[in-house]
Structure 1
Amino acid sequence: MAVTHETLSLLFQFGGFIVALLGLVVTIVVALTKKSKTAIEPSEALAVLHHSIQNEPPHWGQSIV
């Protein structure tokens, strides 16, 4: 079997696809297993959102001047 330019091109594309899939799997596994101290609890997120709504400047359509 002759190895043509097209065959090599497909081989490299398939290899790149496999590497990308493996990278995605590793990223997902790391994200799911990592215990991050920067994660915010839902109740804290709501408190921050409530605080920002109380102190936010103008709503849509209002002038900021």
Structure 2
Amino acid sequence: MGAFFRALDFAGVYANCFLFGILPPVMAWIHRSQQRKRSPDSSEDILPGGNAVLLILFVIAVVLAIWH
């Protein structure tokens, strides 16, 4: 039974990392790129800071996924 809980914990960490760490920056980047294609003069962004902030968040999530 202990091995099952360890495996569940292992799988849960990577699922949570993917869902809450990697997907949000990717989704925000996709939204920004689609929004700029529709209206290039639009300056409204969901996340301030530009693509650099999205890249930093993505890199942190990937490093934490690998590190764990």
How high is the TM-score relative to the length of structure 2?
A: 0.41
Instruction: Indicate the structure with greater helix content.
Output: 2
- Answer with 1 or 2: which has the greater Rg: 1
